[in-house]
Amino acid sequence: MPSFDVVSKVEWHEVENALGQAQKEVAQRFDFRGTETEVERNKEELVIRSSTEDRAKAALQVLQEKMVKRKVSLKFLEVGRPEPTSKGGMKITIKVKEGVDSEKAKAIVAAIKDSKLKVQGSIQGGQVRVTGKNKDDLQACIQLLRSKDFGIELQFTNFRD
């Protein structure tokens, strides 16, 4: 039976490249001089630290521009609020969301059922497997899912005929 998987995976090497480019730009730009602004990665999150809130927000904008240039969707990023640090500066924490969480997976399966296409969706961990009798129905399902906004970036992988 033909099938495919609906996943949401971050290309970490592109995130690393965008992070490196943002770090270089922040280090070189005149408006960041003397503000102790830095952009770094801690496991599953990115952290921006600066002496003022507006410089931290400017560094966030630089990081987002670099992500877009590297074709990393901003839907993967969950930007937190600026928080004060112990040294009197500001910190912004950015969580990188990966995988299809259970709420989004349920919404995807519900959208597939509501479409009346002859396909079935099943939740399997951090992904949704869609199966059907012919690949035309599967392709129609992909078009349907692309047309809707679930709040996460979707990729369609493992297409089996």
pLDDT for res 94:
93
Cα(132)–Cα(111) distance, integer angstroms: 15
H or E stretch at 120: strand 119-124
- State pTM to two decimals: 0.81
Q: Is the dihedral of CA 107, 115, 72, 81 positive or negative?
A: negative
Query: Which residues are registered as beta bridge partners of 84?
Result: 90
Structural domains in the chain, CATH included, are: 3-8+100-160 (3.30.70.860), 12-96 (3.30.70.990)
Tens-digit pLDDT profile for residues 33-75: 888 888 999 887 899 999 888 989 999 999 999 999 999 989 8
Residue type, 159: F
- Percentage of the residues of the chain whose pLDDT score is greater than 70: 100
Read off the DSSP letter of residue 131. E
Cα(35)–Cα(8) distance, integer angstroms: 36
